[in-house]
Amino acid sequence: MAVSTVVTDDGKTVSIIVTSQFDYSLHQSFRDAYRNVDKAGVTFRVDLSKSTYMDSSALGMILLLKEHADKLGGRVIIARPNESVLKILSIANFDKFVTIEK
């Protein structure tokens, strides 16, 4: 599966793991990974360590996740992007509004 989800026992952290190219084909599965989460203060951790590519639709998906997290008083962390994905995130200035863990 290209998108999987792991939730901590306390429900405070939802890890969304993307293991393929992060593009529009993952739109529905990415949205399904977080849309039913409604815990206040939740942290969404998007693990991109196994994703080798992302396009503009993936950036849009992260923005939608950020909106969802903001409504819950939560936050979004993008974890372990490779160099090419990190470059795309940097060009789009995503480091200004989400945390990027290298």
- By three-state DSSP, how is residue 2 classified? coil
How many helices (DSSP H) and strands (DSSP E) are in the chain?
A: 3, 5
For residue 81, what pLDDT band results from cuts at 50, 70 and 90? very high
Chain-centroid distance, C-alpha 30: 8
pLDDT tens readout for residues 33-76: 999 999 999 999 999 999 989 999 999 999 999 999 999 999 99
Chain-centroid distance, C-alpha 76: 7
pLDDT of residue 1: 74
- Other C-beta atoms closer than 10 Å to the C-beta of 89 total 20
Instruction: Note the pTM of the prediction, 2 decimals.
Output: 0.95
Classify residue 57 as exposed, middle or buried by CB count within 10 Å of its CB (0-12, 13-18, 19+).
middle
